[in-house]
Structures are given as C-alpha cells and as structure tokens.
Structure 1
Amino acid sequence: MDSSLVNLSEMLNQTIAGQNKDDPVPSNEIITAPICMVKTRQQKDQNIWTPWEGGHSETELCKMQENDPDLGPLLKWKKSGQRPTKSDIQQNSAATRHYWHIWDSIVLINGLLYKNFSRRDGVEDHTQFLVPFLLKKEILENMHNSILSGHLGKKKTKAKLSQRYFWYEMREDIDIWISQCDICSANKHSHKSARAPLGTMPVGAPLDRLATDFLGPLPTTPRGNKFILTVTDYFTKWVEVFPVKDQTAVVCAQLILNEVICRFGSPLAIHSDQGRAYESQIFQELCQILEIRKTRTSPRNPKCNGQTERFNRSILSMIKSYLRGEQTNWDMNLGCLAGAYRASPNESTCLTPNILMLGREVRLPYDLLHKGHPLDPNEAETSWGNHALKIKERMQRAHCVARKHLEVTCKRRKDFYDNKTNLHVYKVSDKVWYRNEIKREGICPKLQPLFIGPCLVTQKINDLNYEIQIDAHTKKESCQS
C-alpha cells in the first residue's frame, strides 16, 4: 500500500467534479446554537498516508528501538537472553517495567521487538510490533487520519491498531489523539451532551404567568382551520384552545386579548417560543401596553416551554380518540375536550383547573344524574354576599393546597432531573466547538460539518450563556452551553 492510492482517488474525484474549486466562503449569519469544549490539533492535510513500513528499513527500526528510553534496555536484555531481576529494574521507567512483567510474550524477530498477542476466544494469534516513541505520532496519523482509515472512532481504531502494534498505554494515547482530532470533533455527534441543572419558574397565583404555543400544521378542515393556538396558566393549569387558519401575529394577539385577557384579566408574564407571531411588533406592543413581561424559550429547546408542550401532547391524544377516521374534522370538538381537561384534577396541583380558576366545579352532563340536587345543598339558601365570601374562602384554601403540591412536585422533578446533570462551565479565552445549524442554498445539511470552530469564548454571561467569536472576521455571537 503506498501513496499512489491516494493520488488515484484524488484524480477520480477531480474527474467526476470536472473542476477543483475551493468551497464557498460560509456566511457570517450565525444562528444561536449550543457549544462544547474543544481540545484540537491542527492538521495540515486531512488525507495523510505515509506508511512507515515503506519509509523505514529494518535497520532504521532497530536503531529506533535501541535509542528508545523504554525499549532500549528491553532490547538489550532480550539479545543477551537474560531477564533481569525485579530489583534491577526499579530505576527504569514504568513502561520498561511493564514490558518486564510481560517478558514471556515479547520475542525477537529479525532483531526487532515484537509481542505475541492471543485473543481470548482463540480465534487468532499474531505478533504486535513494539513501537518506539518516535513512531507513535506517525502511526496514529496513518491508522486514524489517513483516507484509508476513515477517521473512525476510538473502539475501531484501538482494534485496528492492536492487530499490528503495541506500546505502553497505547489505549490512553489513542483516546487522547482522537479526542483532539479537529476533523472528528467537527463532523461527529457528541456522545455526552450538556445537561444543565433544571431551572424553575415559580408561580403562586392565577395569571402569574401564561404559556402559549401554536400546534400544527394539521389537516385543513372545511372551516379553513389548520393550527391550534393553546394558552395555559402556569398556576391553575387552566387551558384555552382556539382553532385558527394561520399563525399570524394579528390572529394571535386578537385571540389572547379578546378571549383570554378580557375574560380573566391581564397576566403578569407571557411565555412562548421564538415564533414570528410572538416576536412580532404587534405582540410586543400588546405586552407593553398591558405591562406584561414577555419571556421566550432558548432556540431549538422546547423543554423551556414544557407545560404547553405537555398539554399539546395531551390535546392531540384526545383529538385522535374522537376523530373516527375523519381527520379533517379535528376542530369540531376542541371546546369539549378543553372542558374535559379543565374538569380533571391536575397531577401537579391535585386539584382541577376549574376550582383553582373559578372557585367551583362546573356542572357537567353526568351531574344530571343528580337532577334537582345542587352540588352544594347549602348553597341554594346562601345570600349573594355570603356566596361571594364562600367562593373567596374556597379559592384561598384551594390555592394554598395547590401551592404546597406545586412546591413538592417542583422539588421532586428537579431532584430527579439534576441527578443526570452534565454541565461544563467555560472560561473566557476557552476554545469551543459551535454547533453548525446554518442552512445555505446548494449545501446539503447532511454533508456539512456538525460543528464550527474552534471558537473563542469572549464573555461569560452566566454558567449557561456565553458570547463567542467564530474567527477574527466575524461578529460576536451569543450562544448557550
């Protein structure tokens, strides 16, 4: 095997391409994306193939082993045929002492040191060349970086190297080499994604915070509806669903103003994703006029709006249960399904959204079984003033119970989630990889590098958010760990 194979491969690639041009310069428009730590090794040539077998004679290899501080003493002992005592090797390196412990498996072949290797399953026995220090980098480049090695992972590279070579702490050196390979870091998925501690957004009363989201697109109904606008109250778990034809800012603002705020009052905060409707000037002005604090999720992280996402899953499941094969009529029963959800106790509060928002349970069709008997027999004889006081006391007790249950549930979920946290805190001047989520016309996303970098951390906003600079010619970007 020699470098002519690479030359042939390059000639074929140039013939197929018809020309040899540099890749287009990437755009400076960067989308906020996660980052990860990098320890990189700059490579001048991605397709390296200079096999040492063809570049070094046996005499040169023998000379390298003789001059190696770890293999030199071993070669001398093997040539003399006498194994030194344990006390005689105490002054030698850890590598030499390791070779001394496997003395019986080391043999001399044509004046070179080899190690006999036997698989545990007995399938294959072979010899491994004992690699001197000067050849380690060259061998690692050939067995991992070359075009015939394919930049494979640690497991496959270790298996491939162990078929031919051996040196002290070889597996650790392979781990370090591959972890610092900039080509692998830019093009392979990370097996250990960052997982920050779970953040909480505590609430203590109705309308402290509303969450909203668009669900869809769904099959267009005869009434022209294609999406569902959902609104959820963080404290009471009260939900509202509206079938809509599109996701425009006007539709979103009108429904939330007329159907939610005008009925229940203005919330202190509204939480949403970064959809165009919620980031529009109309919606921002609505929040500004009503003094509503507008918050949003981080990019491509729907878990930040988990309450709405969970309700979206529930309402979809309920819709599918009553479609009966007619998918274009999904908007016919939305009001009934939302009412059923509001009349059911929530897992977090252990109370229904009705009792927490209205101060009473609504009368449902199956309550007709008790026709003529009100839910509260004493309520019929109560005056208007006493009724208002009772409603107020009932809601205060319900809210107190809900707050206790929410606190317990929040702590339990956080403790469970934080057991698997894996957050790396970066420092200014650290080099990191930046997830490449830029979509350019004519570039296939599946074939572009997964990460851009190494990038420089220029500012630490907090343990989760940083400001980085891709290179000296691009502007600084905010990103999330």
Structure 2
Amino acid sequence: MGFLADYNCRIVYRPGAQNRKADILSRREDHKSAVKEGGETPVLISPELFIAAIQTDSDLNDLIRDALHDDKAVYKILKSLEEDIPVKGWKLDNGLLYYHDRIYVPNEPEIRKAILESRHDNPSTGHPGQFRTLDLLSRDYYWSGMKQSVTKYVQACDSCIRSKHSNRAPEGLLQNIDLPNKPWEEITYDLIVGLPTSEGYDAILTVVDRLSKMVHFIPTHSDATAVDVANLFVSFVWKLHGLPRKTISDQGPQFNAKFLRQVYKRLGIEPHFSTAYRPQVDGQSERLNQFVEIYLRHYINYRQTDWVASLPLAEFAYNNGKHSGSKHSPFYMCYGYNPDFTVGNTKESHVPQADDLADFLKEIQTEAKAALEIAARQNAQYYDLNRREATKLEVGDKVYLSSANIKTSRPSHKLEHKRLGPYKVLEKIGRNSYKLDLPKSMKVHPVFNIALLHKKPVDKYDRDPVPLPPVVTADGEEEYTVERILDSKKDNTWEPKAHLANAPEKLAKFHREHPEAAGP
C-alpha cells in the first residue's frame, strides 16, 4: 500500500467482458491449487466431527441390538440366520439384522422415534418433507410400514406446522348469506379511512342495502366513536328507510363497541360481524369501497381536498347504475323507476300507477332476489374451484392459527412462524368459524374462519411441543406504562374495570386529586 501511495490512482469498475487482460492474473500456473481429477478440492475435516456423527448412530445401533430379539416379526428370520440357514435379502452382522444392506429396526416406538428424529429434526437435515425424510431414512434403515411412519411423523411435526407454507388448497367452501325479502331489511356498512381532510372530514361511512344494493356515502371522521356511528345511522339511514332487522360489519371498534351493541339490543336489531381477517364475509362493502375510491380519483382536485363535494354525485351514480346481479339499478329496485340524470331531458318515463305500484315493486324485488341468488351460486362455484371442504372441528380440539395478519414482538415478520399456537377451540360460530382460547396479550377478536386454522394432528410419537411464542400483540399495538391520568370522560360507556387493572395506584391517585371526576 505504501508503494501505491506514491501514485494518484483512480479506481474504475470495468465489466469482465471489457477487461479480458486481467484474466491472465488469475490463470498463472504458479497460482493454481492442487485439485484432484474430477474437479473436487480436497477438504480436511477434524476427526472429532466424524466421531460426533458416528456416535449418534452407534448409540442407536446399540439400542437396536438390545431390542432385536424381542421383535416377534423377525423371530424366525433371526433363528434361521443364527443357525447359518440363508434367508434371501437378509443377513446378520455384529448383532444387527440387515435387509438389503439396511439395518432392520425392531418394532420399538422409542427407537423408531429416535431414528426419525435423527433424519428429520437434526439441523443437518433441516426438517425436510415426507419424500426427503423417507429418502434419508431408507439409506440406512428399514422396517415394514416405514413410509406410513414417516408420513405420520412429518405431518404431526410441531415445528414444520409452525414454520412451513401450506401447499394445499385453502379450507372452507363459500357460504352465501340468505337474502332478505324486502329492501333495507338487512344492511352492511364499513368505514373508509386514511383520506385527506376535506371540509373537516377524513373518512367515509358506507351503508348498503343487501337486496336493492342502494347505498349511502356519509362523510365522517377516522376517529368516529360508536356514538358517532349511531347518530349517523339515525340521521342518514333510519329516517329514510326505517329500522333494519340485521346489520353486517367488520370488527372495527366503531361497530363492535359495547355502546352500539346495547343500542342494537334495545332496538331489536341483530348485528353480525365478520370474523377476524376475513373480509369475504362482508365482500359487498369491500367492493363498494373500491367503487368510491375510483370515482373520487376521477373528479377530485390535485390536492384531494374537495372529495366531500363529490360524494352526493358518487352516491347517485352508483344507485342509478344497473347491478350485475339483480339486473336492475338500486333506484329501480326501491322505487320502480330510474330517475333522470341529465338537464333538459323531457322524455316521459314509465312509472306505474299508484294502484299497481305495490304489485309492480314486489314483482321486481322477487325477480331481483332470484337473480341475485343465481349470481351468488355462480360465484360460489368459481370460488370453490380452488378450495376444499373445511375440516370439522369440535370444542376442545387444538388448532394452529395463521400468523399472516398478526404482528408479534419478534423483530422480523419474514422469519416469524407461519402459524401460532396451538390454541383450544371454545365454540363453533356459524358454519365455518370458531372461537379460540387466545392469551389476553393477543388483542384480536378470537373468532376465526377455518381458512386461518390448522387442526393439530394426533402425534403417535408424543413429542414435546415447541414452547409458545412470547407475548403477542395485534396490529403493532404496545402496552404503555401509565405515568399519570390527566382527565376523564363523563359520557356513559360500558367499560370493564379490567382495562385499568395494570394501573391501580395511578387510578386511585387521580380520584384523590379529582373527587368530582367520573369514577370507573
């Protein structure tokens, strides 16, 4: 380096195709390594490594010798060989019985378990699949039914279930929800969040009638509470269409709060919630959200600050368009005619007389319901092409839960286990969903579709399961240490005392300092 310091060098990268003169430096005769014929470079390995590897199989072989004479399946073969009577394919050498040069393993579960473990769980084998495990095993050992033993061993391997992708089709065929008999009897709703602020709003509440497909787009706030949602429901839905019999929504806190559940109970409404990480349950709202977002992209300004002004027209455009399932527009389904949408259009539209309107609407709605049911069956046929029948689970069964949508305390999700658990099934919810006994640290709704679950196989080898992972939190939530309570809300809510179980001293101090504040 001292020699080069006397020169003003400039290092430039040159691709190999343009730097052929440099090849001679790597091809000098005196730089060549001693290489055997066949191109393999000799590598010296410490003898201790061989001893460690051989020692494992040597211990297994001692166990095999001790158990060999207790195996009734080969008693006659052993007796013949010990009397120097040849048996085709079999030989006896140093106390071990060989079948086609492979050691025969007697029917002793602990020995076979140890051998399977050495060919599957060992870091040098890396938890291979059934085919490769069988290949590694059959190089040295043999017993009758070895393939079935490998299959059961690998299928019940806790580490494999946790760590590997599933190559099988997802479980659970499409289960269509029965349609209502009249418009606005059943509704679905969802919240579109993450929008830029426009007129003070940054979210949209979408409400859809399940039969007519008529929608309402209501501007609101991302932090809307259950009380806010209830007020919007009264102002924009109830006053126009009356009280629905059933609602369908996701597990958002605005929809699943105890306040809103109490409102539903008082009004006699039956709420239904999609299972955790299963948007297909409320696919109607999910598709509608896409329509709203696409519509707004067409008509809002560059700074995206005027989308609220476009919502009424977006709602009209959707309600005036023919639905692919019902073959009618939502307007036509509800009112029996399509409204004009251009200025100066004086064409007379056919509107039934009042006496005939009720029968006309009933006929339209009956036809549309039949069309929607046909469309739903067709969708189910396409959906089920890449699915398989759901595994039937019973209360008390243990299942693994997919970690695809759950963030744990581990640093990298890429290296996280593919499944968590196993967890106990507490209850069957609906046709394909189950409630699990999750630890309190997993702050997710405990009801999951069968597609996210994997039943824990029965392990005939009774292996010790891998310890459960550390505390798991959902969606990156963290539990904070309470330093001090500054204020309290006086609105009526239904909150369990357990929510403040980790800060009893701070809670008591707050009420000592503020005796007039609302208590828990």
Please indicate, yes or no, whether the TM-score normalized by the shorter chain is above 0.5. Answer: yes
Structure number with the bigger relative contact order (C-alpha 8 A, sep ≥ 6) is: 1
Change (3 A) 1:167 1:311: same
Residue 258 in structure 1 maps to residue 228 in structure 2: no
The equivalent residue for 1:373 is 347
| Aligned counterpart in structure 2 of residue 215 of structure 1, from 185, 188, 192 | 192
Change (3 A) 1:68 1:322: farther
Residue 176 in structure 1 maps to residue 152 in structure 2: yes
Residue 143 in structure 1 maps to residue 112 in structure 2: no
The equivalent residue for 1:158 is 134
Unaligned runs of 5+ in 2: 1-44, 440-444, 451-520
Letter aligned with residue 405 of structure 1: A
Matches within 5 A, 1:339-354: 339-354=316-331
The equivalent residue for 2:216 is 240
* Whole-angstrom distance in 2 between the partners of 1:300 and 1:435: 10
Change (3 A) 1:247 1:153: farther
| Aligned counterpart in structure 2 of residue 53 of structure 1, from 40, 52, 57 | 57
Change (3 A) 1:63 1:238: same
How much has 1:440 moved relative to structure 2? 6.2
The equivalent residue for 2:282 is 305
The equivalent residue for 2:202 is 226
Change (3 A) 1:212 1:181: same
Does the 8 Å contact 2:247/2:271 carry over to 1? yes
Change (3 A) 1:305 1:182: same
Change (3 A) 1:154 1:441: same
* Whole-angstrom distance in 1 between the partners of 2:401 and 2:410: 22
How much has 1:271 moved relative to structure 2? 1.7
Residue 274 in structure 1 maps to residue 251 in structure 2: yes
The equivalent residue for 2:421 is 452
Change (3 A) 1:324 1:433: same
Does the 8 Å contact 1:206/1:233 carry over to 2? yes
Letter aligned with residue 355 of structure 2: L
Change (3 A) 1:469 1:361: closer
| Aligned counterpart in structure 2 of residue 422 of structure 1, from 376, 385, 389 | 389
Letter aligned with residue 281 of structure 2: C
Change (3 A) 1:261 1:459: closer
Does the 8 Å contact 1:211/1:305 carry over to 2? yes
What secondary structure is seen at the aligned counterpart in 1 of 2:207?
strand
Does the 8 Å contact 2:202/2:221 carry over to 1? yes
Unaligned runs of 5+ in 1: 9-48, 85-99, 117-126, 380-385, 472-476
* Whole-angstrom distance in 2 between the partners of 1:344 and 1:180: 53
* Whole-angstrom distance in 2 between the partners of 1:146 and 1:71: 29
| Aligned counterpart in structure 1 of residue 362 of structure 2, from 379, 391, 396 | 396
Deviates more, 1:350-359 or 1:142-151: 142-151
How much has 1:280 moved relative to structure 2? 2.9
Change (3 A) 1:326 1:54: farther
Does the 8 Å contact 1:212/1:230 carry over to 2? yes
The equivalent residue for 2:312 is 335
* Whole-angstrom distance in 2 between the partners of 1:433 and 1:51: 36
Does the 8 Å contact 2:103/2:141 carry over to 1? yes
What secondary structure is seen at the aligned counterpart in 2 of 1:333?
helix
How much has 1:289 moved relative to structure 2? 5.2
Change (3 A) 1:197 1:69: farther
**Per-residue CA distance 1:154-186 (angstroms, 9 max, x = gap):** 344234334444443322211101222233344
What secondary structure is seen at the aligned counterpart in 1 of 2:364?
helix
* Whole-angstrom distance in 2 between the partners of 1:428 and 1:292: 29
* Whole-angstrom distance in 2 between the partners of 1:238 and 1:50: 74
Deviates more, 1:106-115 or 1:326-335: 106-115
Letter aligned with residue 57 of structure 2: E
How much has 1:308 moved relative to structure 2? 1.1
* Whole-angstrom distance in 2 between the partners of 1:156 and 1:324: 60
What secondary structure is seen at the aligned counterpart in 2 of 1:348?
coil
What secondary structure is seen at the aligned counterpart in 2 of 1:355?
helix
The equivalent residue for 1:37 is none
Change (3 A) 1:212 1:157: same
What secondary structure is seen at the aligned counterpart in 2 of 1:200?
coil
The root-mean-square deviation of aligned C-alpha atoms, in Å, is: 4.3
* Whole-angstrom distance in 2 between the partners of 1:398 and 1:413: 22
Residue 315 in structure 1 maps to residue 296 in structure 2: no
Does the 8 Å contact 2:165/2:418 carry over to 1? no
What secondary structure is seen at the aligned counterpart in 1 of 2:271?
strand
Does the 8 Å contact 1:154/1:175 carry over to 2? yes
Letter aligned with residue 154 of structure 1: Q
How much has 1:204 moved relative to structure 2? 1.2
Letter aligned with residue 402 of structure 1: A
Does the 8 Å contact 1:210/1:271 carry over to 2? yes
Normalised TM-score (structure 2):
0.61
What secondary structure is seen at the aligned counterpart in 1 of 2:117?
helix
Number of residue pairs matched by the alignment: 391
Percent of aligned pairs with the same amino acid: 23
* Whole-angstrom distance in 1 between the partners of 2:54 and 2:360: 82
What secondary structure is seen at the aligned counterpart in 2 of 1:240?
strand
Change (3 A) 1:67 1:240: same
**Per-residue CA distance 1:84-133 (angstroms, 9 max, x = gap):** 7xxxxxxxxxxxxxxx7xx5xx88888966677xxxxxxxxxx7555444
* Whole-angstrom distance in 1 between the partners of 2:346 and 2:395: 72
| Aligned counterpart in structure 2 of residue 408 of structure 1, from 352, 360, 374 | 374
**Per-residue CA distance 1:2-45 (angstroms, 9 max, x = gap):** 9x98xx9xxxxxxxxxxxxxxxxxxxxxxxxxxxxxxxxxxxxx
Residue 295 in structure 1 maps to residue 295 in structure 2: no
